[in-house]
Amino acid sequence: MIPKDTSEFIQRWKHKRRFYPLDRLDHYFDRFFTSFVLYNFLYNEISSRLQPNWNGDEKKATKAAKKLLGAETIFNDRLIRQNGDKICHLVKTKTFYIRDKVWDEQKIKKLTSTDPEQWVKGLLEIVYGIRCNTFHGQKSFEESQKSILGPCIAITERLNDMLIEKMSAK
């Protein structure tokens, strides 16, 4: 069960995404930031409960959701799969680079896998990589960013909703 103050915090951040209806470029950036702040809070909460020995933000961001929800649940979610496929296509066709050629190819290989563990691992690593690029200013403020940020927003918001539901049930 989620404590009342934590629940209120979660709901406030979840509500903030409504302020960015994705009709302007700055809304894509702001909504991704907002969604990822909540995701960050949730994966830290999950990690502290289920895996307190995990060190480092990247490990928590790429493992906590899978640990709580299960790879199959994430893999079988239609919205997450559709948007994961969009990201896969954008990186595969070299429309976007996340880190470098070798790193990107390794992650895309996972996103073409039919193994839920590998697919989810690749997806969460890529979304985290895009988060790092966005938060640390390596994403240019251009209209073309909408095509990669849109799927990241959809995935992050869906994961947030799934995590909140699962955490509320416990």
Per-residue pLDDT at 170 exceeds 70: no
Average pLDDT of the chain to the nearest whole number: 92
Q: What percent of the chain has pLDDT over 90?
A: 74
Q: Is 114 left (phi over 0), alpha (psi -120 to 50) or beta?
A: alpha
The C-alpha atoms of residue 24 and residue 116 are separated, in whole angstroms, by 34
119: left (phi over 0), alpha (psi -120 to 50) or beta: alpha
